[in-house]
Amino acid sequence: MQFHRFDLNLLIALDTLLREKNITRAAEKVFVSQPAMSAALHRLRDYFGDPLLVRVGRDMELSPRGQSLIEPVREALLLIQATLGTQPTFTAATTQREFRLILSEAAVPGLLPAILERVSTEAPGIRIHIELVSHTALNRLEYGEIDLCLCLDSLRLFDVKAYPDTLRSVRLRAVRWVCAVDRDHPTVGDSISAEQYFSLPHVFGRPSGYTATAEELVRRLLDIDLPVHITVPSLLHLPLVLRGTRLVATMPDRVMQMFASTLAIKSFPLPFETPPLHEILLWHKRNDSDPAHAWLRDLVVRLTQEI
């Protein structure tokens, strides 16, 4: 297809080159040979009258013109994909679709099993891929790599001042934080004071997807300064490492309750005030009119209300 002399078949090659900044990797991404990708780059340079990719030492960097094309080219492809992939009607029992969801650890207990059970029962043709939240979640939503993000409503967690205008949102359940210790902890009895809490060695969950330190994540979530002695890969691991230690862990109450009946640990409300937090459901506005997408996000909202 030609549009003002531009072959629209080159859009995918252009998008991949702008992302990878490497001809070989771009060719691998779209399953073409390196000579074919080099030829595509030559045609793109001819059309735009710009090198787009320039050699800097051993690497290639985008020219200013190439940099300016990243977002509009990706958005154009995503709009085409959404338009062609969206079916005018949605029948849960027969639709075949794939969705990618990002969830916070607080959403895993209770809510995730409920979502998967309802989808498998009502829409068996829908496939869902789950990831835990990371600081790149908002960018991945904007870039079309993720369909829904169910996370904590904390701008500081993503190190941004506001959610992008392209994202839609629904506020869901409140999140309550608790602290937990071994049931036979040598110094913590039936309650814990703020003085005790801050004097004990702390363990906290720092997923690999975050560049911030565990101390910085605690500061962003709870607005306290806390030296973290041990980190684990996620908040879901925290109840598992307390047995036989003097450690104290801080986690959402729903994570604690998931293990309350099986592990010899005890929990307490935090002995100080923390900023109110809620779960929030985020998606890109390009998916607003997609019936299958609307069904899935409405399902998530209904289940949070039921649970």
Q: What is the tens place of the pLDDT at every residue in 262-286? A: 999 999 999 999 999 999 999 998 8
Domains of the chain: 2-85 (1.10.10.10), 89-307 (3.40.190.290)
Asked if pLDDT for residue 302 goes beyond 90, the answer is yes
β 228-232/202-205 pair status: parallel
- What the block records as the tokens of 130 is 């789950």
pLDDT of the residue at 12: 82
Residue (of 163, 252, 159) closest to 204 by Cα position: 252
d(CA 155, CA 167) in angstroms, rounded, equals 13
pLDDT of the residue at 2: 44
CB atoms within 10 A of CB 278: 12
Mean pLDDT (the chain, rounded): 90
Amino acid at residue number 284: H
What percentage of the chain exceeds 90 in pLDDT?
A: 58
d(CA 212, CA 135) in angstroms, rounded, equals 9
Quickly list DSSP for the chain: -EETTEETTHHHHHHHHHHH--HHHHHHHTT--HHHHHHHHHHHHHHHTS-SEEEETTEEEE-HHHHHHHHHHHHHHHHHHHHHH--SS--TTT--EEEEEEE-GGGTTTHHHHHHHHHHHH-TTEEEEEEE--TTHHHHHHTTS-SEEEEE--HHHHT-SS--TTEEEEEEEEE-EEEEEETT-SS--S---HHHHHHS-EEEE--TT--S-HHHHHHHHH-----EEEEESSGGGGGGG-TTS--EEEEEHHHHHHHTTTSSEEEEE-SS----EEEEEEEEGGGTT-HHHHHHHHHHHHHHHH-
Asked if pLDDT for residue 7 goes beyond 80, the answer is no
Task: Measure the N-to-C terminal CA separation of the chain; round to a whole number of Å.
Answer: 50
What percentage of the chain exceeds 70 in pLDDT?
A: 95
pLDDT of the residue at 1: 42
Q: What is the average per-residue pLDDT within 68-85?
A: 77
CA distances from 121 to 18, 99, 107 (A): 41, 16, 20
For the stretch 153-178, pLDDT in tens is: 999 999 889 998 889 999 999 999 99
- The larger pLDDT score, comparing residue 38 to residue 5, is at 38
Q: Which residues contact 209 (CB under 8 A, 6 or more apart)?
A: 132, 133, 134, 135, 136
Asked if pLDDT for residue 65 goes beyond 50, the answer is yes
d(CA 224, CA 272) in angstroms, rounded, equals 10
pLDDT of the residue at 139: 85
Q: What is the average per-residue pLDDT within 245-264?
A: 95
pLDDT of the residue at 8: 67
